[in-house]
Structure 1
């Protein structure tokens, strides 16, 4: 798994659990790992669209697909 994917998962889980400490640590690590502030904001805001699914979030679940 690449670093951006690991950071994305860590940010999403920290946000979902509402842990401010974890979110701060993973945000700092993500920035140091090369993620942009915009990427981090999208992954912690819940506003990252999944086109065609009507779902929002930073990941796709297994079996998710775009509906055309």
Structure 2
């Protein structure tokens, strides 16, 4: 037996999608910058910059999941 389901059309806020896309790119840029700085840093500074890079990656992934 075939089940018929009616799907409601979903509206998309294009401006919001653009904002999310811009935010995702900014997170990647910030992550890249902290990784570059971490390459030249030493000890605890490098560890801190690596942690910051991971935080930017997590933020990027959160945004991608929303999109």
TM superposition score normalised by structure 2: 0.44
More helix, by proportion: 2
TM superposition score normalised by structure 1: 0.43
Structure number with greater Rg is 2
More strand, by proportion: 1
User: Looking at both structures, which has the greater relative contact order when contacts are Cα pairs under 8 Å and sequence separation is at least 6?
Assistant: 2
